[in-house]
């Protein structure tokens, strides 16, 4: 289980957008986004580069915080 911090989410629509973006990355499953914590957790079926994940989140208007 991997966890990333996502900055800029403010509503359930944001949660849905982040969930969809992460779910569309090949090899990621079981995505759960927590609005209150500003976090997304997911399972990787195979290693996925952090750049791939950051790009998917950035493209929809949010920021991954290290």
Containing structural domain, residue 19: 2-65
Residue 33 pairs in a beta bridge with 40
CATH number reported for the structural domain that contains residue 16 in this entry: 3.30.70.100
- The 10s digit of each residue's pLDDT in 42-61 is 999 999 999 999 999 999 99
pLDDT of residue 66: 80
Tell me, yes or no, if the pTM score tops 0.75: yes
Number of domains in the chain: 1
- The 10s digit of each residue's pLDDT in 5-36 is 999 999 999 999 999 999 999 999 999 999 99
pLDDT of residue 42: 97
Distance CA 46, CA 33 (A): 20
């Amino acid at each position: 289980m991997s966890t990333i911090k996502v900055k800029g989410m403010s509503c359930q629509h944001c949660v849905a957008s982040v969930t969809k973006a992460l779910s569309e990355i090949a090899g990621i499953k079981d995505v759960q986004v927590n609005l209150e914590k500003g976090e997304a957790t997911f399972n990787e079926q195979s290693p996925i580069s952090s750049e791939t994940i950051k790009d998917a989140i950035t493209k929809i208007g949010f920021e991954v915080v290290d």
